[in-house]
Amino acid sequence: MAPSRRNVFDLIRHIAALSVLLSHHYVLSGLEAPGLGGRYDLGALAVMAFFSISGYLITLSFCQSPSFASYLLKRVARLFPALVGCSLLMVYVAAPLLSERGMERLFDVRSLFEFLRIAAMGQASLPDVTTGFIFPDSFNGSLWTLKIEFGCYLAVAAILSLVRGPLLPFGAALLLAISSGYLGRFGEGVWAAKMTTYLSVASAFFLGAFFAFRRTWLVRPLCLISMAVGGAVLLAGALTSAWLLPLGSLAVCLVTLGIGLLFTDRLINGRFDLSYGIYLYAFPVQQIVINRSGLGFYPGMLLTVLLVVMLAALSWHWLERPALRLAHRRAERARAVVVAG
């Protein structure tokens, strides 16, 4: 079940990361983000696409890993080195420069706890930095998805350790979508709203995991076109439904996988992956540019893109790729030991 490069997932992920940046630039500037209306702004659609691709590829990764430890090492290598690097820059470079506390922040034990919290996928709440910002709630509001994604990594490994096949991922996708829809209709308060979102994006992940076991379907262009068209129709119908988010997440998964597997990427095709770095760095860079640079909306967006792509490239070359290579080398050694045994 080794993943094939006959797809455009790398390209979609980069487009999705830049779409999140674009959407957040509106929100962090106090404007309404573009999209399909309601909770279907461009950033939300992009996050659903991310989870859909992850569900598909991560399931393939688990099925070809020689052990759970090997699988987990690859997942940790993918998420945490770049997150730790981003956390260091936010707490020990950006915060001292932006906060009234200045350089004393470098030697404050509270900064250490902030760094550890953010590096462990906690909230990037730095109120002394974001006071007076248009959006003061967080210095990096994009990090909320990481804990959900890592939880999905663990959950898919757990259920596939019980039964390795499509039944449990499909059941999980439906259960999560139904739970999300129920909370969306009948839940009250902030936590109900958050859980509605969390469960809906997780449902896209597990629907992607289901399709990882149906690759014989996905080599047929007619099947892929039907998935993309059916997903688009479902997405259009979901816009007026009370089950807006869960139906939309499942629809975006169908569209993303249908289009992603219908074509072959010859531009990126495994050469690099800046999408995660773009996703990590866009929000804090935008907070600084929008609130401190004095630039207008479009010049600020252009500067943000240039800075974020540069930071993402450094993160990829210095942190992400070396960590992934190390994890894959260890996985290959573990596989060799299993084969020899």
Residue 296 structure tokens: 């207008």
So what's the pLDDT on residue 5? 72
Any domain includes 1: no
Any domain includes 3: no
So what's the pLDDT on residue 174? 97
Any domain includes 4: no
User: In 3-state terms, the chain is what percent helix, strand and coil (to 5)?
Assistant: 75, 0, 25
Selection from 139, 170, 141, 172 nearest residue 155 by Cα: 172
Any domain includes 2: no
So what's the pLDDT on residue 1? 43
Any domain includes 101: yes
| Cβ(53)–Cβ(60) below 8 Å | no
pLDDT digits (tens, 9 = 90+) for 184-227: 889 999 999 899 999 999 999 999 999 999 999 999 999 999 99
So what's the pLDDT on residue 152? 98
Q: How many CB atoms lie within 10 A of CB 164?
A: 14
> The pTM is what?
0.95
Range of the domain at 280: 9-340
Any domain includes 42: yes
So what's the pLDDT on residue 38? 67
So what's the pLDDT on residue 267? 86
Give the CA angle between residues 141, 202, 82 to the nearest 5°.
Answer: 45
Any domain includes 236: yes
pLDDT under 70 in the chain at which residues? Answer: 1-4, 38, 337-341
Selection from 270, 266, 300, 263 nearest residue 282 by Cα: 300
Q: How many domains does the chain have?
A: 1
Alpha helices, DSSP H, located in 65-188: 68-89, 95-98, 109-119, 127-130, 144-162, 167-186
* 278 CA to centre of own chain: 11
